[in-house]
Structure 1
Amino acid sequence: MSNVEVSAKSKIPKTECRLCSRLFPYFVIRHSIFDIRYSAFRWEAPFAASQTVHWIRFLFVRAVVVLIGANIIWALPALGVDGQVQIHDPSTIIECGGKYYTYGTGGSCLVSDDGWTWYRGVSPTRRGMAPDMIHLGDRYNLYVAANIGAQPKAAINMIWNKTLDPGSPDYKWEEGGIVASSDGVEFCNAIDPGVFLDPTDGKLWLVYGSYFGYIRLVQLDPKTGKRIDPNDKPVDIAVNCEAPDMIYHQGWYYLLATHGSCCRGADSGYNIRVGRARKVTGPFLDHMGVDMLQGGGKLVVGSGGRVIGPGHFGLINLGDGVQKFSCHYEADLDRGGASVLDIRPLLWRDGWPVAGDSFKEGTYAIESVRTGTALELAVEGMPVGGRRNRRPPGGPGAAPGGPGGPGGGLFSSQGGVIPPQDVAQVSTNWPAGNIDIRMGNYLCQAQQKWTVTPVADAGGYPGSPYFKITIAGTGRVLAVDEEGELVALPAFTGGPEQLWRLDQLPDGAWRIMPKSASDAGESLALSAIGSSFATLQEFDPASNKQRWLFKTP
């Protein structure tokens, strides 16, 4: 599989009538009102759909696709992406010529220069439903599904291009032919392709299918992207799901598929689930040992916050152990319930993939996983609540070992809650110019509290904007000086040495990198040296010294 991957599928709600499921060769009753990908009606007669129904459906879908394809600029960011992000059933996100591309149902295309801000691109020559894409050698192969008449009679076609840049003289889509199909009678619907390149042996596979029947697996030629032998019988690997995709991780093959109902806006039940196997052909079992052929699947991500119905998982490998994934939401409540693209961190816990969350701005203590000490300004700290009097020897509360108990200590003559430090008061003795950065035991002091804020119009990277990191309540900003060392500058000016990239790592910790290093092609990251010194060093995925936790103070 290339740097990223996604799939897309059709939906029958998980509450689909089981009798109808068994009798679908004769008739299919689907419970949603419409599906913007292929049907205006949820009752279909696969063997005898009238021309009138076909034309109404055709006109309906064209109208919806036109609306989706309109150049609407959204004012609000969608979690891990910004810009024109409306899409349904996004394909694998692929990098080409320094830009990122994804394709969706109806021929929609989104392009990004940095993986953060997206805009409308040029549609491919085939504009079917739920495409997927992979980069193989000098080719970009796009797999596109289409119904032949009425589903579940369908076919998946492959087209390829030497580039995804419409401005290139090499830009031309070529037909590669059909790689999978269903005849309308068999217990499968050949849509929702997902492409997987096995990193262990270089074999190429296609997974496909929807709620109409089995999820199936066939082998492709890694040189051409075509079916190796069209007469080979597909392998049934799952049921009661769609939008299948496959990834490999530490000796396991993971089948990710979308469960629940789709295409119903904020009433959609879409969620992404997973099973794993030691062989690419399965059996794929969930964490409770239930086979995905029996409807099993461990939850990876469901609805939450202001977004509903995540579906169509696609892996994004950013290198150095950093993984993210793309998906679409059936409804983003901050965008009028539109279906939108998102990119989120991919974490691993106990051998299972888990959805991470985009970084949320706020005030934090930045703690080293390696040392347990916190990032701070190199200034003299003031104890929270001020300096206190010692208990007099032998006085009330005296204890063995000296005043106030073992080893002596401090006490307050008055009880009550001690408020947070006022940075304006405790910073009066801080230097006026640049201040060095160090590590120290976290003591709730002002020089240890950092406010992390996204910076508008500063660009970003896949799944996130760049951030500024300032001492809470001040303008003092974390930066990299001309010698490449950490420093706090008096004010933020927007330079790349003051902008920071935050990537969540598979274990949930964070990597912190300056934009200036990233722009120079360097992978320098904030590093804890011992328990008291911080600097920048080349990122090492196997080291804890570059893993950080953002804790609410």
Structure 2
Amino acid sequence: MALLPTTAQAAQTHPDPRPLTGQEIIHDPTVARLKSGGYVAYSTGGIIGARLSADGRHWDDAGNAFAEPPAWWYEYNDKADPWAPDLSYRDGRYWLYYAVSSWGSNHSAIGVATSPSGRPGTWTDHGKVFSSERTDSWNAIDPAIVRADGRLWMSFGSYWTGIRMVELDPVTGKTVPGAAVHHLATRPDAPYAVEGPYIVKHGRHYYLFASYDACCSGVNSTYKIKVGRSASATGPYVDSAGTPMLNGGGDLVLEGHGRFIGTGGQSVFRDKGKDWLAYHYYDAEDDGTPKLGLNRLSWTKDGWPKVS
């Protein structure tokens, strides 16, 4: 019997981000449409760097979330350099979670601040939410908040066995005393390069987006975004083939293509009834400068996210 020729498989293609103008430089963005109108983005860099936009297309530098770093940050970083903020709105206030750490260490902490408007310069810091030490098998950075069935949860994690989750007290915004640390995603190969979780509810499932491989190396970055889903916020999360994210599973959502290298540090925000994926990429046509990427996030008939 003659063998049939193998059908060629085209490489997955990815859409380019929305064209933007103004101050596009950013890293680990969290974006929201403010109730007062317009958009804000916070990011790694500065004292939580801020950008403002009237239309989501032209962005202006808006300084920093804080005028001065809270004193407790210096315990975790001698330059008081915060990372990877997460912006959310709850109970009449905006909540800004962020991490303080140093490169290659899991002596790290996550803090929280609140604001009535969500705008830079209006934040009041409330101190430490959760921390990790060198004896822990997780790293308390890259926080992201999700509400589920009347409870409040914070996912976090980077390398050190991957993505974790703890329950928060919705009144204080801090960890519930004695809260269990749930394990959501990891990889079978050291150094377990998965980080930057973000969980969103769509339909009857929770979707865990995470950044895989290496960031922060300009055009040599290999960051990419993968996703799994679960009927419960605490997992277990699996990809579309049924592979658990605790066993290295995850469907590819977006990776580097063309000038847009190392896509990751992602978050999801809702605007006028539509979901958007926000992330950074390293611009191969601008010496690998990290810039803001925005893509519409649509959903397939079988309930999986797709960038467009």
Q: Which string of whole-angstrom CA distances, capped at 9 and with x for unpartnered residues, describes residues 12-65 of structure 1?
A: xxxxxxxxxxxxxxxxxxxxxxxxxxxxxxxxxxxxxxxxxxxxxxxxxxxxxx
Q: Could you tell me which residue of structure 1 aligns to residue 184 of structure 2?
A: 237
8 Å CA contact 2:224, 2:254 repeated in 1: yes
Between the aligned partners of 1:313 and 1:138, the Cα distance in structure 2 is: 25
Are 2:193 and 1:193 equivalent residues in the alignment?
Answer: no
The alignment-based identity, stated in percent, is: 36
Q: Choose from 114, 122, 137 the match for 2:55.
A: 114
Cα separation, 2, equivalents of 1:149 and 1:282: 29
- 2:34 match: 95
Amino acid paired to 2:176: I
- Aligned to 1:335, the other structure's residue is in SS state coil
Contact 2:32–2:270 (8 Å) recurs in 1: no
Of 146, 150, 154, 1:202 maps to 150
Amino acid at match of 1:140: Y
Shift of 1:305: 2.5
- Deviation digits for residues 278-306 of structure 1, max 9, x if unmatched? 11111101112211111111101111232
CA contact (8 A) 1:148 1:155 kept: no
Of structures 1 and 2, the larger Rg is shown by 1
> Which runs of 5 or more residues in structure 1 are unaligned?
1-76, 357-553
Give the drift of 1:78: 6.5
Counterpart of 2:162 (choices 190, 214, 225) is 214
Larger relative contact order (CA 8 Å, sep ≥ 6): 2
Q: Does residue 268 of the first structure (1) align with residue 221 of the second (2)? A: yes
**3-state secondary structure, aligned to 2:164:** strand
SS of 1:121's partner is strand
RMSD of equivalent CA atoms: 2.0
1:104-503 mapped onto 2 (5 Å cutoff): 104-106=43-45, 107-125=48-66, 126=69, 127-147=81-101, 151-165=105-119, 172-198=122-148, 201-229=149-177, 231-239=178-186, 240=192, 241-320=194-273, 322-329=274-281, 331-349=282-300, 350-356=302-308
Q: Is the 8 A contact 1:176 1:226 kept in 2?
A: no
Relative to structure 1, the CA distance from residue 165 to residue 175 in structure 2 (aligned partners, 3 Å threshold; closer, same or farther) is: closer
In 2, distance between residues paired with 1:94 and 1:197? 19
Rounded to whole Å, the distance in 2 between the matches of 1:80 and 1:287 is 31
Point out the more displaced range, 99-108 or 270-279.
99-108
TM-score w.r.t. the length of structure 2 is 0.82
- 1:104 shift after superposition: 1.0
2:28 and 2:42 mapped to 1: Cα distance? 8
- What is the CA–CA distance in structure 2 between the aligned matches of 1:254 and 1:202, rounded to whole Å? 18
Gaps of 5+ in 2: 1-15, 70-80, 187-191
Which structure 1 residue ranges, 4+ long, deviate > 6 Å from structure 2? none
Secondary structure in 2 aligned to 1:293? helix
Q: 1:243/1:152 Cα in 2 relative to 1: closer, same or farther (>3 Å)? A: same
Residue identity matched to 2:265: H
What secondary structure, in the 3-state scheme, does the structure 2 residue paired with 1:299 have?
Answer: strand
CA 1:108–1:347 in 2, change beyond 3 Å: closer, same or farther? same
Any conservation in 2 of the 1:78–1:340 contact (CA below 8 Å)? no
- Partner Cα separation in structure 2 for residue 253 and residue 308 of structure 1: 28
Alignment of structure 1 residues 522-533 onto 2, 5 Å: none
Q: Is the Cα–Cα contact under 8 Å of residues 130 and 174 in structure 2 kept in the other structure?
A: no
Deviation digits for residues 472-519 of structure 1 (CA, Å, limit 9, x no counterpart): xxxxxxxxxxxxxxxxxxxxxxxxxxxxxxxxxxxxxxxxxxxxxxxx
Alignment of 1:14-25 (within 5 A): none
Q: Is the 8 A contact 1:80 1:344 kept in 2?
A: no
In structure 2, the CA distance between the partners of 1:100 and 1:88, relative to structure 1 (3 Å rule), is: same
Structure 1 residues 250 and 78 mapped into 2: Cα distance closer, same or farther (>3 Å)?
Answer: closer
TM-score, L = length of structure 1: 0.47
What whole-Å deviation, never above 9, does each CA across 1:187-217 have from its counterpart, x for those lacking one?
111101111123xx23221100001223111
Mapped contact 1:346–1:353 kept (Cα < 8 A): yes
Change (3 A) 1:226 1:94: farther
* 8 Å Cα contact 2:253/2:306 also seen in 1: yes
**When you count strand as a share of all residues, which structure comes out higher?**
2
Aligned length in residues: 271
Q: Relative to structure 1, is the Cα distance of residues 79 and 335 closer, same or farther in structure 2, using a 3 angstrom cutoff?
A: farther
**What do the CA deviations read for 1:54-105 (whole angstroms, capped 9, x no partner)?**
xxxxxxxxxxxxxxxxxxxxxxx97342211101111243424212111111
Task: State whether residues 27 and 265 of structure 2, in contact with CA within 8 Å, keep that contact through their aligned partners in structure 1.
Answer: no
CA deviation after TM superposition for structure 1 residue 113, in Å:
1.3
Contact 1:111/1:118 (<8 A) preserved: yes
* Residue 148 of structure 1, CA deviation: 7.0
